[in-house]
Amino acid sequence: MFFALFESARSALASIYAHGLRSFLTTLGIVIGVASVIAVVSVTQGMSSFIGDTFASLGTNSLTIQSYTPFEDQMKGIRARLTPEDLEMIERRAEGIASITPILYANRSSQIKYGSQTAFSQIMGTTYAYQDVAQSYTQIGRFLAQTDNLTRRRIAVIGEKVRENLSLPENPVNEYVEIGGEWFKIVGMLEERGDIMGFSQDDIVLVPYATMVSLQGNQTRTDIQIQLSLSDSADIEDVSRQLTTLLRNAHDLRSDEDDDFRIQTAEQLMEEFDQIIGMVTVVIGGIVSISLLVGGIGIMNIMLVSVTERTREIGICKAIGAKRHHILMQFLIEALLLSLLGGIIGLAIGFGLGTLISNTIPGFPSASIPLWSIALALGFSGFVGVLFGILPAAKAANLDPIDALRYE
Amino acid sequence: MALIEIKRITKFYEMGSQVVKALDGIDIDVKKNDYLAFIGSSGSGKSTMLNILGCLDKPTTGEYHLNGKNVEALEQNELSEIRNREIGFIFQSFNLLPRANALGNVMQPLIYRNIGFRKRKEMAMRALQRVGLGDRVDHLPNQLSGGQRQRVAIARALVTSPSILLADEPTGNLDSRTTIEIMQLFDELHAEGHTLIVVTHEDEIAQHCHRVVEMKDGKIFNDSTVTGGSAKVTA
Ligand SMILES: Nc1ncnc2c1ncn2[C@@H]1O[C@H](COP(=O)(O)OP(=O)(O)OP(=O)(O)O)[C@@H](O)[C@H]1O
Ligand SMILES: [Mg+2]
């Protein structure tokens, strides 16, 4: 059996090689299927493990409250707001909160200048509590202090990326930058946090909240974000329910009106990402199974052609003693090798593509192929080969020797 | 006991409403080291007869014992085994595998016996040398002349040391000079103890054989043993 098997494999390879172009075109379906699954898996795997890490570092016990205006209301010019009064009210009345901080984004220009250098950055006004809520600490200098807020000092804490963009010295503390026409002294630089999905986490400038408020002229339209972290014993669900009730009351919402704010937890964000990735995986899975199906049919088709072409050869082999399984094996192995070949080419192309994608998007986590996906891709293409090879191989094996020999 | 015992064999083909009786009640015994020719006009059933003898085809009715084994009762895989071990078939159109060279073609039947490559090659080389093709082993069939191709086919039939060699018009596609060479090879194989059955419609070839069976309309018309050995071809 062994030598017969070996010879079957050898002659299958020879026949694949003899029809090089045809074999390649036949495997294309499998190549595309496997390449797309590997490309997507390698990218999403890199992404999801990275996102997982990132959110874990954000802390699972923090949440963000933002105002939310439904699209129809936006069209009518209505804007929901979250005000400093809301913040005060929450500070006073909500339970289970460890630290809480407002965040006010620069609403006009987020331009920042140093000497002749100009950069755009995410500039936000916040308080000393931000470092606890966001788990973001300084590596050089100090963070914003409570007194900075009270006295509306013009100081800033910057991220590593900002320093880089503005060509600030290694130690930027005590340098002056210009924001919105005002001079700010840098008092500290944050620890580096890296990127999420190509967005730098280090491209931020923090200034005291009160300073930011005073920079923004019209204070009747102030719309802030509130970030808070929970005390150890607090349950995130309880707190969000409590906050919802408080805010709905404060905003005088009737029971039939929707919330005009959104409470987001890091966990929620992560779940959303997971959902997106899950969806992408399902869609790709669909595409892949279709292309594997098409690829399999392609292989079956070409194997049927090949059986017909080689009817006489099959007759000859049977006449000189080939048994059913000898012929079956030869064609089955040929189909298997064809689709495995497609699988391997697809694997290489898919990995190449995944690497290309993650390399061209700056800051994108690097592609990684888990071993299971290789096994799955090869396993699946092999399975497809065998599945769709059985029919033609059985057809060949069951040929009557005399009929096969007479075949013109 | 005879090598081949055939009793009342028939082979009918149904062509629409008409039944073609390719073989119509054949009784024949073939002994070891027989050198037998089937002759007869075209359509008389010679090829059909040989295909049944070679276990390539099954008769409609009748009994066929080969080496004491009842071939009727066997199924496809067992028939393959018989074809591999007991029978060496030589075709008019050579029937070599086009993508294998001479050596590969001769080695092919040994694969089905699960013999290792080295042994296979050694046996095939010996068979090719036997038919005088030791210097053409790596030629593909389409790089060989007709006579050389038929020698490869004969080597392939010989390599398994079968009980019988069956040849259906082995020289039908060859010129007269090559025909003589092939028939001389057959004479030698017979002298070495092989059993040969040849289908032909050429008298010169039949004259080589020791027993000539003439067929007509699917029946044996005349079965004569030529005493005194094979006559020489006079062409
Ligand atoms: N597959 C088939 N289907 C129908 N009829 C067949 C088939 N094979 C052979 N026959 C018929 O059986 C008869 C005997 O055919 P066979 O091939 O045995 O003749 P033959 O003696 O070998 O002739 P030739 O010398 O021309 O080769 C013929 O009448 C032929 O038409
Ligand atoms: Mg014939």
Q: Find out whether the beta carbon of B42 lies less than 6 Å from any atom of ligand 1.
A: yes
Rounded-to-integer distance, Cα B47 and Cα A246, Å: 101
Residues whose CB falls within 8 Å of the CB of residue B17, separated by 6 or more in sequence, listed in order: none
Half-sphere exposure of B52 (CA within 13 A, CB side): 28
Q: Which of A193-207, B5-19, B49-63, B147-161 has the lowest mean pLDDT?
A: A193-207
Angle of CA points B92, A331, A322, to nearest 5°: 45
Count of domains for chain B: 1
Q: How many CB atoms lie within 10 A of CB A148?
A: 23
Please give the pLDDT value at position A278. Answer: 82
Rounded-to-integer distance, Cα A203 and Cα A192, Å: 10
Mean pLDDT to the nearest integer, B191-198:
94
Tell whether B38 is covered by a domain.
yes
Residue matched to tokens 């060279």: B101
For A321-339, the pLDDT digits (tens) are 999 999 999 999 999 999 9
User: How does B91-126 read in b/e, with b if 16+ C-beta sit within 10 Å?
Assistant: bbebbbbebbbbbbbbbbbbbbbebeeeebbebbbe
Residues whose CB falls within 8 Å of the CB of residue A292, separated by 6 or more in sequence, listed in order: A29, A30, A33, A34, A380, A381, A384
Contact B133, B105 (CB under 8 A): no
Closest CA to A67 of A220, A225, A250, A278: A225
For B27-42, the pLDDT digits (tens) are 999 999 999 999 999 9
Backbone phi and psi for residue A251, each to the nearest 5 degrees, phi listed first: -90, 5
Walking along chain A (408 residues) 10 residues at a time, the average pLDDT comes out as: 82 88 90 85 74 63 85 82 88 88 81 88 90 87 91 92 90 91 92 72 90 78 86 84 90 87 80 80 80 88 93 95 93 92 91 84 71 85 92 94 90
Tell whether B79 is covered by a domain.
no
Range of the domain at B152: 33-51+86-233
CB contact under 8 A, B80 and A313: no
Closest CA to B162 of B50, B81, B71: B81
Ligand 2 (ion): residues with CB under 5 Å are B 47
Nearest to A321 among B112, B116, B120 (CB): B112
B141 DSSP 8-state letter:
G
Q: Least CA distance to B47: which residue of chain A?
A: A402
Please give the pLDDT value at position A304. Answer: 94
Tell whether B22 is covered by a domain.
no
Query: Got the DSSP string for A240-282?
Result: HHHHHHHHHHHTT--TTSPPSEEEEEHHHHHHHHHHHHHHHHH
For B87-138, the pLDDT digits (tens) are 999 999 999 999 899 999 999 999 999 899 999 999 999 999 999 999 999 9
Q: How many CB atoms lie within 10 A of CB A133?
A: 26
Nearest to B112 among A4, A15, A316 (CB): A4
Compute the nearest-CA separation of A272 from chain B (Å). Answer: 59
B7 forms bridges with which residues in the sheet? Answer: B63
Compute the nearest-CA separation of A407 from chain B (Å). Answer: 12
CB contacts of B74 in chain A (<8 Å) are none
Compute the nearest-CA separation of A276 from chain B (Å). Answer: 53
Atom in ligand 1 nearest the alpha carbon of residue B49: 18
Tell whether B168 is covered by a domain.
yes
Please give the pLDDT value at position B234. Answer: 36
Tell whether B141 is covered by a domain.
yes
Find the CATH number of the domain harbouring B216: 3.40.50.300
CB contact under 8 A, B99 and A18: yes
pLDDT at B231 exceeding the cut of 50: no
B143 DSSP 8-state letter:
G
CB contact under 8 A, A323 and B77: yes
Angle of CA points A266, A270, A271, to nearest 5°: 115
Q: Find out whether the beta carbon of B19 lies less than 6 Å from any atom of ligand 1.
A: no
pLDDT at B189 exceeding the cut of 80: yes
Compute the nearest-CA separation of A369 from chain B (Å). Answer: 40
Tell whether B153 is covered by a domain.
yes
Tell whether B43 is covered by a domain.
yes
CA–CA distances in Å: residue A25 to residues A307, A377, A389: 18, 19, 16
pLDDT at B233 exceeding the cut of 60: no
Q: Find out whether the beta carbon of B210 lies less than 6 Å from any atom of ligand 1.
A: no
Please give the pLDDT value at position A362. Answer: 66
Output the CA B39–ligand 2 centroid distance in Å: 10
CB pairs under 8 A between A and B: 69
Q: Least CA distance to B119: which residue of chain A?
A: A3
CB contact under 8 A, B98 and A313: yes
pLDDT-based confidence at residue B232 (cuts at 50, 70, 90) = very low
Output the CA B52–ligand 2 centroid distance in Å: 12
Tell whether B102 is covered by a domain.
yes
Angle of CA points B90, B95, B100, to nearest 5°: 120
Please give the pLDDT value at position A218. Answer: 67
Closest CA to B167 of B141, B144, B194, B143: B194
Query: Got the DSSP string for A125-188?
Result: EE-TTHHHHHT--EEEE----HHHHHTT--EEEE-HHHHHHTT--SS-TT-EEEETTEEEEEEE
Average pLDDT, chain B: 91
Sign of dihedral through CA atoms A89, A56, A358, A194?
positive
Residue matched to tokens 């074809």: B83
Backbone phi and psi for residue A29, each to the nearest 5 degrees, phi listed first: -55, -45
CB contact under 8 A, A4 and B114: yes
Q: Find out whether the beta carbon of B22 lies less than 6 Å from any atom of ligand 1.
A: yes
Angle of CA points B72, A311, A20, to nearest 5°: 145
Closest CA to B51 of A400, A133, A395: A400
Nearest to A323 among B51, B112, B115 (CB): B112
